[in-house]
Chains A and B, each alone.
Chain A
Amino acid sequence: GIQVEQSPPDLILQEGANSTLRCNFSDSVNNLQWFHQNPWGQLINLFYIPSGTKQNGRLSATTVATERYSLLYISSSQTTDSGVYFCAVERGRGSTLGRLYFGRGTQLTVWP
């Protein structure tokens, strides 16, 4: 199956700092999503971004599909941004139709 690698595995920031999370994937994809898993375990959809750039408040994401990577930018981080950020991709063909392949996530801790 497709390999999804996220970096860094852990990130510790002071409130107000900016950060960039990276997701590399090993094959072409139809779908790429970023999720935030909050401390209660809920998976929250951040972006659906198979290509291009999107922004939502302090968060933005860019996917360069031809180079097989995506970046998630968090600006002016807040303590509520803490949690695990997952990148997940879908190839959308054959027997794995619709399946999301997840990376292992980036654990973000924001201190006040």
Chain B
Amino acid sequence: NAGVTQTPKFRILKIGQSMTLQCTQDMNHNYMYWYRQDPGMGLKLIYYSVGAGITDKGEVPNGYNVSRSTTEDFPLRLELAAPSQTSVYFCASSYSEGHYEQYFGPGTRLTVT
């Protein structure tokens, strides 16, 4: 199993550009999450999904959109990139909530200039 994979690893965007961060898991997990990590901080939840077709906002959803058309994929869309979105983005997955471990992808380092 590859676990959770993310692409790209690095990206530089100009202000106002858009992009999609890709996330795929091959563990047949129902739950998937997007977090962002700012320098010197822990991770904060952007969006999450409890299954295909179901998504909900986390703590910091503004400026982002998600979709979940399959169990495996959970892309994160940035519209009109802003410098405040410069961060490292992590995708994670778990079998369910509560008593199941979350597994993280390697992260995408995004810079908006």
Residues of A within 8 A of B (CB): 1, 4, 30-31, 33, 35, 41-43, 45, 48, 50, 86, 88, 90, 92, 95, 97-100, 102-105
B45 to chain A, nearest CB (A): 5
Count of inter-chain pairs, beta carbons less than 8 A: 67
Q: Is the CB of B45 within 8 A of A99?
A: yes
Candidate in A41, A86, A103, A105 with the most chain B CB atoms within 10 angstroms: A41
Q: Is the CB of B97 within 8 A of A97?
A: yes
A63 to chain B, nearest CB (A): 13
With A and B bound together, what is the CA distance between A90 and B40 in angstroms? 21
Pick the contact of A104: B35, B42, B59, B102 (CB < 8 A).
Answer: B42
Q: Is the CB of A102 within 8 A of B33?
A: no
Q: Is the CB of A43 within 8 A of B94?
A: no
* Residue B106 is within 8 A (CB to CB) of chain A in the complex: yes
Q: Is the CB of B94 within 8 A of A98?
A: yes
B5 to chain A, nearest CB (A): 12
Known contacts being A30-B98, A31-B98, A41-B109, is A102 close to B103, with CB within 8 Å?
A: no
**Which residues of B69-92 are within 8 A (CB) of A?**
88, 90, 92
Candidate in B40, B59, B88, B97 with the most chain A CB atoms within 10 angstroms: B97
